């Protein structure tokens, strides 16, 4: 189920840039509207109601604020995967490699083995879903830990890019609070019908 308040805010303050980038940095990932984030956190909590979640997992940087407020409603800790350029990190970390949609480079993402355990039931949260690389990388960390992936919640899915289909085909329970069907700099954003 999409979230009306969020869709209205995207229409009002979102900026469509060339290269299929939607800028929402006046309320979501540079300046942050905490009241909106509270509503987003509540909505994720409603959409995953009845699912046991022991940890919320996200990726730095822009996922962290969203994950933290969401975690208040689930009353569980947040773990964020760190991005690093070092490929051969020895020791006590789980790692996966993630190609960045916005920067076009590849990062190794890591999480300490201390913070993901086989008994964990993990909900992944992120700001955007484009090609699905971030969520697939995070789900690999969960798998490596032997933990259970409860599902993934994203604030904005760009439905015209392949990530959503990929993630759903993998059997991951994906909930997107706004799904952009199409967008362009001249006409702005159009959302998928519910």
* Interface residue list for ligand 5GP (CB under 6 A): 21-23, 29, 62, 101-102, 126-134, 158, 163
Residues β-bridged to residue 175? 153
Between 21 and 170, CB nearer to ligand 5GP: 21
CB of 24 to ligand 5GP, least distance (A): 6
CB of 158 to ligand 5GP, least distance (A): 6
CB of 154 to ligand 5GP, least distance (A): 8
Between 43 and 127, CB nearer to ligand 5GP: 127
CB of 7 to ligand 5GP, least distance (A): 15
Between 120 and 126, CB nearer to ligand 5GP: 126
Between 3 and 130, CB nearer to ligand 5GP: 130
Between 94 and 101, CB nearer to ligand 5GP: 101
What does the H/E/C string look like for the chain? CCCHHHHHHHHHHCEEECCCEEECCCCCCCCCCHHHHHHHHHHHHHHCCCCCCCEEEEECCCHHHHHHHHHHHHCCCEEEEEEECCCCCCCCEEEEEEECCCCCCEEEEEEECCCCCCCCEEEEEEEEECCCHHHHHHHHHHHHHCCEEEEEEEEEEECCCCHHHHHHHCCCCEEEEEEEEEEECCCEEEECCC
> Distance between CA 194 and CA 46 in Å, rounded?
17
CB of 193 to ligand 5GP, least distance (A): 21
CB of 136 to ligand 5GP, least distance (A): 8
> Distance between CA 51 and CA 32 in Å, rounded?
28
Residue 153 tokens read as 């919640």
Between 30 and 46, CB nearer to ligand 5GP: 30
């Amino acid at each position: 189920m999409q979230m009306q308040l969020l869709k209205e805010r995207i229409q009002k303050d979102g900026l469509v840039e060339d290269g299929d980038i939607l800028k929402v940095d006046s309320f979501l990932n540079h300046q942050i509207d905490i009241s909106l984030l509270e509503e987003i956190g509540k909505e994720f909590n409603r959409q995953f109601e009845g699912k046991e979640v022991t940890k919320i997992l996200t990726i730095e940087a822009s996922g962290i604020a969203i994950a933290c407020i969401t975690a208040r409603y689930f009353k569980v800790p947040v773990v964020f995967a760190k991005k690093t350029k070092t490929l051969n990190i020895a020791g006590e970390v789980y790692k996966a490699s993630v190609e960045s949609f916005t920067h076009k480079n590849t990062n190794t993402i890591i999480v300490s083995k201390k913070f993901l355990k086989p008994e964990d039931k993990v909900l992944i949260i992120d700001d955007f879903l484009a090609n699905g690389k971030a969520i697939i990388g995070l789900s690999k960390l969960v798998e490596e830990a032997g933990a259970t992936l409860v599902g993934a919640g994203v604030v904005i899915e760009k439905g015209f890019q392949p990530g959503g289909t990929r993630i759903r085909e993998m059997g991951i329970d994906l909930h997107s609070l706004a799904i952009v069907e199409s967008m362009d700099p001249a006409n702005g954003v159009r959302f998928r019908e519910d």
